Amino acid sequence: MSLSTLGDGSAGVVLVVDDVPDNLAVLHDALDESGYTVLVAIDGPTALQRAAQAMPDVVLLDALMPGMDGFEVARRLKADPATAHIPILFMTGLTDTEHLVAALAAGGVDYVTKPIKAREVLARMAVHVQGARAARQTRNALDAFGYATVAVRARDGRLLWQTPLARQLLQAWFGAAGPLAPAEVQDWLRRHLPDARRAIEPPRLAIERGARRLTFRLHQQVELDDEREGDVAGDWLLVMREESDAAVLETLAQGFRLTAREAEVLYWTARGKTNRDIGDILGASPATVKKHLERVFAKLGVETRTAAAAMALERMRGVGQAG
């Protein structure tokens, strides 16, 4: 069976990771009889490879294996944006609280204790598989429509998944597409969580670089985290949009016969920025900005920032970029 056909007509795709062949055989038979497509791996590196290739709906992961143990496998799966969304159920003979906490901290959503009881595994897994498949359908729809969308876990800022366009934008703007959301995004999300949980949409986050900006809009809550330790921050869908005011700058330059730098200074003046702000944006000193602005005043035939800004805003309305 090719990887492209995995899961067709089945209850889901499950990757079972255990270094004991007898355990694999028992789980494989029980899952197969229940309609699942079953993949197996007997060590950590193989598990990572197969997860990346097949994108299973869930991973059943043995906690203790020689070499790379299950905790490390889970951490690596969660650190990779491509596989971070896959739910992980740990299989462990360890029942000490510290080991169970370690399993959850590594990225597990649930655990079952050994010796494995097939019915218990199937019952616990069904809930997570259903949620994972619904989330995958959402991601596929967003991908198809070309949305730049990410899912962020508010508790720790982890990027659970992202559409291809979102990955490109994160890479271009921040130099990385995970495993964590940019610090500005994390701070913004946490700051507005109280309003978001009351269905009040917070103001958009805008990150500006010259005439370019990247905005983040809170779209909806994906699901609630387990309420362990009182944490109900949840996972959230954010929609990203890249905008450029290059056309506006060109309009200002041509309309008022300004140089490119003078047009930039006028643009930011119209947006309410001080000379110091504009200097920080353009990489110039406030004194240099002041000189540019004086030349802008002369070309516009005005004497104040307010008058220059009013003329710029009027021209910007013509290209739909006022305000």
- Domains, the chain, ordered by start: 3-139 (3.40.50.2300), 146-244 (3.30.450.20), 247-317 (1.10.10.10)
Is the model's pLDDT at 262 over the cut of 90? yes
C-alpha torsion angle, residues 112, 71, 108, 176 (rounded to 10): -160
No. of H helices and E strands in the chain?
13, 10
pTM metric for this prediction = 0.51
Question: How much is the average pLDDT of 187-211?
Answer: 84
- Give the per-residue pLDDT at 320: 52
Count the neighbouring beta carbons within 10 Å of the beta carbon of residue 150.
26
**Considering only CA atoms, which of 154, 177, 180 is closest in space to residue 165?**
177
247 compared with 287, residue with greater pLDDT: 287
**Considering only CA atoms, which of 247, 243, 253, 244 is closest in space to residue 312?**
253
User: In a 10 Å sphere around its CB, with 0-12 CB exposed, 13-18 middle and 19+ buried, how is residue 282 labelled?
Assistant: middle
Q: For 180, which DSSP code?
A: B
Instruction: Provide the pLDDT confidence category of residue 5 given band limits of 50, 70 and 90.
Output: very low
**Considering only CA atoms, which of 239, 87, 231 is closest in space to residue 151?**
239
pLDDT single digits (tens) 70-115? 999 999 998 887 788 888 999 887 766 677 788 888 888 888 888 8
**Considering only CA atoms, which of 252, 270, 242 is closest in space to residue 319?**
252
User: Any residues with CB less than 8 A from the CB of 125 and at least 6 apart, and which?
Assistant: 14, 58, 60, 89
Mean pLDDT, the chain, rounded, equals 82
User: Any residues with CB less than 8 A from the CB of 104 and at least 6 apart, and which?
Assistant: 111, 228
pLDDT single digits (tens) 147-184? 788 888 888 888 888 888 888 899 889 988 878 899 99
User: Any residues with CB less than 8 A from the CB of 276 and at least 6 apart, and which?
Assistant: 286
| Contact call for residues 302 and 311 (beta carbons, < 8 A) | yes
Of the chain, the percentage scoring pLDDT greater than 70 comes to 85
- Give the per-residue pLDDT at 134: 67
Q: What is the phi/psi pair of residue 66, to 5°?
A: -65, 155
Q: Chain centroid to CA 192: how far?
A: 17
pLDDT single digits (tens) 112-147? 888 888 888 888 888 788 777 766 666 666 665 667
- Give the per-residue pLDDT at 219: 81
Of the chain, the percentage scoring pLDDT greater than 90 comes to 30
| Cis preceding-peptide flag for 115 (omega within 30 of 0) | yes
**Considering only CA atoms, which of 14, 16, 226, 228 is closest in space to residue 116?**
16
- Give the per-residue pLDDT at 3: 36
